[in-house]
């Protein structure tokens, strides 16, 4: 067997070996990507739970104060024009309402930027997010007269949460 023949045989054998090697590299990259996505999801869930637990009590206290000052008997009673006027005239109440809505807005921004898991938020307090937005929509509309961007992320989150809730029914 000549050196040229041996070189040709080596080239022929090298091609399938290279293809098999390429297959294993691609497969390993695919497995590593899947594992990375699982880890990202786990971290996102953990961050969502930690953030929710960190603000839950503060949110509960603030919303209780707001609803008490507005004399709302039920948690999600509708706001009327008088409630909105009262919020706008009472600086402490206005601050509490802004604080409460800002907490929801921060969660919404976290969902937009893939920091928080929307499905976990839906399971934890989706109804509270939705109903609070609907309840305070008259106030939000007044605030938006000065800036159209107030609570936009929160509104988008509410729409997504409603879609999730509808799909589960």
Residue with tokens 């070996």: 17
Given this model, what pLDDT does residue 95 score? 95
3-state SS, 119-166, equals HHHHHHHHHHHHHHHHHHHHHHHHHCCCCCCCCHHHHHHHHHHHHHHH
Q: Count how many Cα atoms sit within 13 Å of the Cα of residue 136 in the half-sphere of its side chain.
A: 32
What is the phi-psi region of residue 78: left when phi exceeds 0, alpha when psi lies from -120 to 50, beta otherwise? beta
Tokens of 12: 């022929």
pLDDT band at 155 (very low <50, low <70, confident <90, very high): very high
Given this model, what pLDDT does residue 23 score? 86
Q: Look at 18-27, 44-53, 137-146 and tell me which has the smallest mean pLDDT.
A: 18-27
What is the model's pTM?
0.78
Mean pLDDT score, 122-126: 92
């Amino acid at each position: 067997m000549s050196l040229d023949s041996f070189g040709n045989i080596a080239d022929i054998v090298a091609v399938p070996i290279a293809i098999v090697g390429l297959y294993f590299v691609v497969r390993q990259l695919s497995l590593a990507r899947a594992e990375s996505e699982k880890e990202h999801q786990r971290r996102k869930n953990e961050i969502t739970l930690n953030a929710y637990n960190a603000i839950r009590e503060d949110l509960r206290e603030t919303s209780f104060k707001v609803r008490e000052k507005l004399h709302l008997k039920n948690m999600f009673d509708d706001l009327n024009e008088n409630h909105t006027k009262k919020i706008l005239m009472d600086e402490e109440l206005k601050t509490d309402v802004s604080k409460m809505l800002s907490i929801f807005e921060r969660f919404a921004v976290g969902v937009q930027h893939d920091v928080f898991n929307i499905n976990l938020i839906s399971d934890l307090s989706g109804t509270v997010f939705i109903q609070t937005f609907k309840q305070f929509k008259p106030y939000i509309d007044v605030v938006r007269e000065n800036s159209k961007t107030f609570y936009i992320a929160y509104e988008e989150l509410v729409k997504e949460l409603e879609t999730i809730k509808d799909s589960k029914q």
